[in-house]
Structures are given as C-alpha cells and as structure tokens.
Amino acid sequence: MKRLKQFSNSIDHAVDGIIYAFKTERNLKIHFLITILVLAVCLVLDLSRLEVVMVFFAISLVIVAEMINTAIEAFVNLLTLSHHPLARISKDVSAGGVLIAAINALVVSYLIIFSAIKKPILEMVIKKARESWVHISIIIIFITILIVAIGKALGKKGSFTQGGLVSGHAAVAFGVSTAILLATKNIFATSLAFFLALLVAQSRIEAKFHQWFEVVLGALIGISTSLLIYHVFYPEQIIGAIKELLSKF
C-alpha cells in the first residue's frame, strides 16, 4: 500500500509539472494544440503502425524538449538573476534543442502525414469515426480529458489527479455512461453505467478530493461532450436514445 501511494504521488507530481509548463509556457500550449490536430489526423489516415509510432515519437520529442527547456530556464534563474554570459548560453542551447526537435517533427509529419492525405480531412474524420462506435468512444474520452486538463490548468488549487476546479473522474465516468446510452440504447446497461458513475462521483466527495459542485461540473462536461460528439457523427442516435427512454416510462 505504501509503494502504491508513493507511485501515485510520483504520477501526481509528474502531471503537476506538465500542468505548470502548460500554464506558464505559451509555446507548449501551441505544441499541445498541434499534437491534438496531428493525432486526430493519424486516427483517420491509413498509416502503418511504424508510421504512427514515428509521428508520435517526433511529437513527443518536441514536447519533452520544450519541458526540459522550461526546467533549465527555471534552474538557471534559481542560480542567478544577473545576465551572466553562461546563463544566456545555457538557455540558448536548450532553446536550440527545441528548435531542432520541432524541425524534425515537421519533416516527419510532411513525409508521412501530408503525403497520405488524398481527400478533405473533415470528410475522412467523419467517415472513419462513423465506421465504429469505438472510435467515437475514444474521441469522447480524449476530448473530455483534454477539457478537464485545461480546467485544472486554469484553476488555482488541487492537482490533476486530486482536487481542482473540475472532477476528471466524474467527467470521464458520466461521459462514458452517456456514450453507452447513445451507442446501445440499452436501459439496463445504461443504468448500471450511470450507477457506477454516481459511485465514482460520491467517492470523490467522500475522499474530500472535490466539492459537490466540482463533481457536478465534471459530470456536466462529460455528458455534454458525449452529446456534442454524437450530434456531430450520429445525430440520429440521440433521437433514438430519447425515444427508447420515453418508451420505458
């Protein structure tokens, strides 16, 4: 149990570092936005596993380089507040590493992704996503986690896994439950899913990680995200789910 707690704390501190870098570094926000767009494109293109790994590695390298650059700048500022030539060299070299990683990512993206685009991206995204509800579920979870991460970054308390402006656990739980309702229209399965989501929300409140309004906000984000995504890809599913619910009462 102690080791599990230590591991959980390590993950918590690591994610806090990511959120700090996201909040303080404008370039990192741009990198995250580009990462989301590139990964979305990778989901719909017929890329091999090796090509996807290469793209993911190139993008990750840029983000890691940017975070190392942030850490180096913070450490140099801790050591000296004067404009020492060595301090400037340290910052310039770390920034140069970020530039090289970014150029590498652009080259890899051009060679792999842009050469594979044969028709409009939006059309490919909709076509690929409509082929399976699994794709929709992955998109819902990914976007929900992204919104929660932004909410955590904008908040002034808590961390990514504990506390904060929005309950990420509640957001994901209610988002998935709503997706189950829209995908299956099975009242029994949906009831079980929402019951588990309520248990997750209650556990976050009882553990004093969140206040009730933070849990409600997370639940609303999860439900709204699922409804919005299904409205884009499967608008008929929402109408069918509503009719199924009304027919049971």
Domain boundary among 93, 123, 153: 123
Q: Specify the CATH number for the domain of residue 51.
A: 1.10.287.3610
Residue where a domain terminates, one of 123, 141, 162: 123
Q: Which residue has the higher pLDDT, 239 or 186?
A: 186
Question: With 0-12 CB in 10 A as exposed, 13-18 as middle and 19+ as buried, what is 38?
Answer: middle
**Active-site hit among 25, 51, 66, 214:** 66
Confidence (pTM): 0.52
pLDDT score at 143: 81
pLDDT at 198 over 70: yes
Average pLDDT in the 151-171 region?
A: 70
Distance of alpha carbon 241 from its chain centroid, rounded?
Answer: 27
Q: What is the pLDDT of residue 56?
A: 83
> Residue 162 carries which side chain, given as an amino acid letter?
Q
172 and 101 share one domain: no
Per-residue pLDDT of 118-139, as tens digits, reads 555 555 555 555 555 666 777 7
Is the same domain home to 147 and 219?
yes
Same-domain status, 183 and 104: no
d(CA 215, CA 13): 22
> Do 242 and 144 share a structural domain?
yes
My answer on whether 228 and 170 are in the same domain is: yes
More confident residue, 6 or 119: 6
Q: Are residues 146 and 63 in the same domain?
A: no
Residue 241 has pLDDT above 80, yes or no: no
pLDDT tens, residue by residue, 70-79: 888 888 877 7
Active site residue 73: no
Mean per-residue pLDDT for 236-245? 63
Q: Is residue 106 located within the same domain as residue 169? A: no
Q: What total of structural domains would you count in the chain?
A: 2
Please say whether the dihedral angle defined by the alpha carbons of residues 219, 221, 225 and 228, taken in this order, is positive or negative: positive
- Range list of β-strands (E), the chain: none
Asked if pLDDT for residue 63 goes beyond 80, the answer is yes
Statement to judge: residues 163 and 218 lie in one domain: yes
pLDDT level of residue 2 (50, 70, 90 thresholds)? low
Please enumerate in sequence order all residues whose Cβ is within 8 A of that of 47, keeping only pairs 6 or more positions apart, or say none. 55, 112, 113, 116
Q: Tens digits of per-residue pLDDT, 218-228?
A: 899 889 888 88
pLDDT of amino acid 239: 63
Least confident of 23-32, 166-175, 239-248: 239-248
Q: Does 118 lie in the same domain as 137? A: no
What local confidence, expressed as pLDDT, does residue 132 receive?
Answer: 59
Q: Do 156 and 213 lie in a common domain?
A: yes
Share of the chain above pLDDT 70, in %: 71
Q: What is the dihedral sign for C-alpha 178, 184, 188, 189?
A: negative
Stronger pLDDT, 43 or 60, i.e. the higher one = 60
d(CA 241, CA 220) in angstroms, rounded, equals 18
CB-neighbour burial class of residue 88 (10 A; exposed 0-12, middle 13-18, buried 19+): exposed
The last residue of a domain, from among 97, 123, 149: 123
Span 171-200, average pLDDT: 84
Spatial separation of the C-alpha atoms in residues 130 and 92, rounded to whole Å:
47
Based on the fold, state whether residues 112 and 184 are members of the same structural domain.
Answer: no
Domain that holds residue 181: 132-247
User: Do residues 220 and 149 both lie within one domain?
Assistant: yes
pLDDT level of residue 117 (50, 70, 90 thresholds): low
